[in-house]
Amino acid sequence: LAIFLRLVQFFSTCSPLLVVSRQVCYPDTRSHLSKKTHDITKFQKGKTEQLLRVDEHDFTMRPAFGGPAIPVGVDVQVESLDSISEVDMDFTMTLYLRHYWKDERLSFPSTTNKSMTFDGRLVKKIWVPDVFFVHSKRSFTHDTTTDNIMLRVFPDGHVLYSMRITVTAMCNMDFSHFPLDSQTCSLELESYAYTDEDLMLYWKNGDESLKTDEKISLSQFLIHKFHTTSRLAFYSSTGWYNRLYINFTLRRHIFFFLLQTYFPATLMVMLSWVSFWIDHRAVPARVSLGSTTVLTMSTIITGVNASMPRVSYIKAVDIYLWISFVFVFLSVLEYAAVNYLTTVQERKERKLRDKVPCLCGMLHSRTIMLDGNYSESEANSLAGYTRSHIVTDEEKQEKIVVHLALSDESNTSRKKGLKGHMGLRIIQNTHVIDKYSRLIFPASYIFFNLIYWSVFC
């Protein structure tokens, strides 16, 4: 018991020293560590939230809710015009879209009047205009390496909200003059929820609100000009909305289509004219030439239509190609007509030759020189004919002279028949249709080209 009492007395005297030692050692260490681990970003974040007072306001409602419409200025910088699709009738554009408005809830005191810039994370906590692209098919905000969104707040509450967007929008194209056409497309911006009574959308600097990169170019089009317009759009169920338009005019380059469409079609038409100088008896040459040109024209027409939308009206290129196809097809029909008429003429000639030996028993006699190919027996077999000269075997090889008695009337009819026979022979050797075609086809095609290019150019 005495030993226990001594131990209690010992610890009671030493415990205050231990407490004092703790109090002396530990406070200095804690203060030293707190100075080293001080987080400046946390302190700055608290200051920013205090300046903008984000948590003190309801940003689900627009600024000055219940009052007049809030004006929201817009300007656009077009970075690139990526593609124009005739098949889908749309275009793709990359642009910087900027909004300007004033929200007094975001005003903050500042002695230097400097703005504060934030990225896209603050956008989700405040009110921003709900602008969308009318008639857009696809659109997205770029997110490499982070979301391409910038928010700049000024001390008086003015806000600049900028984003980088790529949008694919519809463009109503008229191909009646294709490929000698010009197209006007529009990119339309509008507030989705707020009517003109709540939000007034306007171009911030008029026509100067739209800026384009000077390096913008397209392979098939020449960009004439960009300009801006604005008007009101009405929806029967919701009301009137402010709508902004980015209009641009495109002029198609014709040189590509001259090389790929017009020149080949013209050459095929000219190639079909070659058959007019080929002998009409060369059937394989003229038929193969005509078939080749017709099939080639069909291939050209199919290739052009494959890259075009299936419109229900006639395009300028269709007129040229189909007229050229008609010229090629007519050259084939021309040879068919020549071949048919030649066959008819040959039949008439054969009938005429069959009728010539039957003209006999006439009054007056005439001397006719027959070719040596006729034998002497064949000459003697002619009834009513009088031989005036007996030829030997040597003379028979050269010619045979036979006296035929012909009347005056039969003599006149025979002369007319021989004249007609010679006329048919001339037509058969150099056919008159081919002669006329050599002039009519080129002259007609040149006349068509003059009218075509004067109308569509």
What CA–CA distance (Å, rounded) separates 13 from 254? 108
**Dihedral class, residue 285 (left if φ above 0, else alpha if ψ from -120 to 50, else beta):** alpha
pTM of the entire structure?
Answer: 0.67
What CA–CA distance (Å, rounded) separates 170 from 186? 8
Please tell me the least confidently modeled range out of 285-299, 333-347, 384-398, 442-456: 384-398
Average pLDDT over residues 358-368: 45
Q: By the 8 A CB rule, do 403 and 387 touch? A: yes
Checking if the pLDDT of 90 tops 80, the result is yes
Instruction: Label residue 6 by pLDDT band (50, 70, 90).
Output: low
Tell me: cis bond preceding 179? Omega within 30 of 0 counts: yes
Q: By the 8 A CB rule, do 401 and 388 touch? A: yes
Predicted confidence at residue 34, as pLDDT, reads: 43
Provide the pairing of β-strand 158-170 with 149-153. Answer: antiparallel
Instruction: Label residue 100 by pLDDT band (50, 70, 90).
Output: very high
Predicted confidence at residue 50, as pLDDT, reads: 54
Average pLDDT over residues 250-266: 93
All structural domains of the chain, each given as residue ranges with its CATH number in brackets, are 70-252 (2.70.170.10), 256-351+443-456 (1.20.58.390)
Percent of the chain beyond pLDDT 70? 72
Provide the pairing of β-strand 158-170 with 221-235. Answer: unpaired
Percent of the chain beyond pLDDT 90? 46
15 or 40, greater pLDDT: 15
Checking if the pLDDT of 266 tops 50, the result is yes
H-state helical runs in 151-282: 255-257, 263-272
H-state helical runs in 149-282: 255-257, 263-272
Predicted confidence at residue 421, as pLDDT, reads: 53
Residue whose structure tokens are 């100088």: 277
Please tell me the least confidently modeled range out of 104-108, 245-249, 373-377: 373-377
End-to-end CA distance of the chain: 127
H-state helical runs in 356-429: 376-380, 393-396, 408-429
Checking if the pLDDT of 269 tops 90, the result is yes
Predicted confidence at residue 29, as pLDDT, reads: 42
Residue 75 C-alpha from the chain's centroid: 30
| Bridge partner residues of 424 (DSSP) | none
Average pLDDT over residues 401-412: 42
Tell me: cis bond preceding 145? Omega within 30 of 0 counts: yes
**Residues of 173-205 as b/e, b for ≥16 C-beta within 10 angstroms?**
bebebbbbbebebbbbbbbeebbbebbbbebee
**Is 343 exposed, middle or buried, given 0-12, 13-18 or 19+ CB atoms closer than 10 A?**
exposed
Please tell me the least confidently modeled range out of 222-236, 324-338, 422-436: 422-436
The secondary structure of the chain in percent helix, strand, coil, rounded to multiples of 5, reads 45, 25, 30
H-state helical runs in 78-126: none
Q: Residue 156: which H helix or E strand, with range? A: none
**Is 275 exposed, middle or buried, given 0-12, 13-18 or 19+ CB atoms closer than 10 A?**
buried
Digit-coded pLDDT (tens) for 114-141: 888 998 888 888 899 999 999 999 999 9
